[in-house]
Amino acid sequence: MSSWFISIEGTEFGHQVAVALALFAAVLHAFFGVLQKGRFDPWLTRGAVDFCYSMISLPLVLFVVPLPEPHLWGILGIAMIIHIVYKFAQATAYTKGAFTVVYPVIRGVSPIFTAFGAYVLFREVFNFIQWLGVGLLVTGILGLTRYNLRHIRVDRETLVPAIWMAVLTGGLVAAYTTWDAYGIRATADPFTFLAWFFFLDGPLMSTVAYLRWRGMEPRPEVMPLMARGFVGGIVAYLSFGSILLATRIDNVGQAAVLRETSVIFAAIFGWIILKEGVGPRRLMLIVLIAAGAVLVEVGA
């Protein structure tokens, strides 16, 4: 599998595969956000997910993928730090704000920062049509945020700090997207980076979640929480793995922008699963987001 992905890097077929992977990641990322915002405390869900994907990775790092090359350990270490800060910011934002308010802000901030990060690290440049697409996408996402701020009636007293935390989280999304793309390109076998990342990334938030759970009264039931964590662990593996493989075989900035169509799927999931309404105005903004993503792809 690794040799096949490497063989299609920089090809037209590789570009098509990268687009499919980025859109697949968008759907899964939106579903992952709903999982974290849903039934349980977001910190507990995050810890359960991290524990599960770390355990899923254990047999992979022991028996399947090779050890990381010496230079990759430092890259993995920095990736861990960025992701830890990101997770704390994300969990705080979800604790303070409604999912359909917080999630669009996070996704709206990150594409522009990611595009600049891709330029700095990889010298990738968008053309005018693609920047126009980014502008439409970000306008739609931030318009969706403004609409939500005016009409969502839950968590009103904590919306402002939730928005600021979401902005910080969006910046951290851009940071980990570009850095992880650098990491997966720095190893001969892309699955080495993925498997070792997930294995090393799990323990900290699992410990934080356990300590939080132990201090709760009453304590949430463990089995339903771990069942959600197991599903979330698989979703995280597929979502994060898909977007990173897309950045390995094609442009980082373009893959990151296409992933932000996750806002469309988040609105759908929020409506169906969390019972948070959509409405015609929000639907129009979602169409604007989709149009922006299409322009980014057409302009490539």
Domains in the chain: boundaries: 2-298
pLDDT value of position 38: 59
Contact between 154 and 96 (Cβ < 8 Å): no
- Model confidence at 116, pLDDT cuts 50, 70, 90, reads confident
- Residue tagged 């132990």 (tokens): 214
Burial of 300 (0-12, 13-18, 19+ CB in 10 A): middle
What is the rounded distance in angstroms from the CA atom of residue 282 to the CA atom of residue 254? 24
Contact between 190 and 131 (Cβ < 8 Å): no
pLDDT value of position 104: 74
pLDDT tens-digit map of 220-243: 889 988 998 899 899 888 988 898
pLDDT value of position 74: 96
Burial of 238 (0-12, 13-18, 19+ CB in 10 A): middle
Going by C-alpha positions, the residue among 180, 294, 188 that lies closest to residue 240 is 180
What is the rounded distance in angstroms from the CA atom of residue 118 to the CA atom of residue 179? 9
What is the rounded distance in angstroms from the CA atom of residue 278 to the CA atom of residue 295? 24
Q: Per the structure block, which two tokens stand in for 138? A: 């970000």
Q: What is the mean pLDDT of the chain?
A: 83
**Phi/psi at 89 (5° precision):** -65, -45
In the chain, the amino acid numbered 208 is V
Helix-then-strand count for the chain, H and E = 12, 0
- Model confidence at 110, pLDDT cuts 50, 70, 90, reads confident
pLDDT tens-digit map of 122-179: 887 778 888 888 888 778 877 877 776 676 665 566 677 888 888 899 889 889 989 9
What is the rounded distance in angstroms from the CA atom of residue 182 to the CA atom of residue 277? 39
What is the rounded distance in angstroms from the CA atom of residue 140 to the CA atom of residue 145? 9
Burial of 4 (0-12, 13-18, 19+ CB in 10 A): exposed
For the entire predicted model, the pTM comes to 0.82
Model confidence at 292: pLDDT above 90: no
In the chain, the amino acid numbered 111 is P
Q: How many residues does the chain have?
A: 300
